[in-house]
Structure 1
């Protein structure tokens, strides 16, 4: 386990996050998938969130991230979902027509810390995930 340090803190806050498009439609494909990935990475860079691992399936975003203590998990997810929803609907007309109510993502998200299960179990799951095209640190 590697701890990270800030100006006044030392921490190891890892979260397993999952959220999905409304109605679990399989719309995270092709250019939409690449754009969602790019937007979420931008949000991570801006907020100091480190992507440990992740996968982008056709119908959900699945991430294992390290979030610094000054950033609330809910703020990170709110910004990632909000910005990606707005930009995806602006840039892809077929998405804007399908989600005419301007809500691309389902309400809420799943979040857990890696305390109940080990980091290795989460990493193995994400490595075996069927649509591995996501947020690996080397990509």
Structure 2
């Protein structure tokens, strides 16, 4: 539970998005830098990153934001910030993709599921066999 002036809250969003054309661009240094950028931008806004899963063609995040941030604006800020920096730092992303992220992403509340369960699900996603559905 977190608190601010006049409110106590426990929000948790699970955010999933894919690179343009599901291009497997997130390995090695790009993956490490992406994680740094997500944590930096989240920290700047006071959002707690509980779990971050990066697979070559899909990114999953479990974050606890402030109640003043809508899920779509939070996802938009993260996508914009990471796209700007990654494309500036890694030229192959600029030359292979017209845009790093397409517009859509999936955001869902964690609901009554404990944060630890969601964190474990995201962190072990690459250990499970792929279902081919691309969902969260």
Q: Does 1:4 align with 2:20?
A: no
* 8 Å contact from structure 1 (residues 16, 114) kept in 2: yes
The TM-score with structure 2 as length reference comes to 0.85
Aligned residue number for residue 82 of structure 2: 84
Q: CA deviation at 1:121?
A: 3.8
The count of corresponding residues between Structure 1 and Structure 2 is 126
Counterpart residue number, 1:118: 113
Any gaps of 5 or more consecutive residues in structure 1?
A: 132-139
State the 1:75 CA deviation: 1.5
Q: Is 1:128 matched up with 2:119?
A: no
Query: How far, CA to CA, are the matches of 2:117 and 2:35 in structure 1?
Result: 23
Corresponding residue SS for 1:111: strand
- Tell me the TM-score normalized by structure 1: 0.83
SS at match of 1:71: coil
Considering only aligned residues, what root-mean-square deviation do their CA atoms show, in Å? 1.5
Structure 2 stretches lacking a partner, 5+ long: 128-136
Deviation at 1:50, TM superposition (A): 0.4
Moved over 6 A (4+): none
Residue in 2 that maps onto 1:137: none
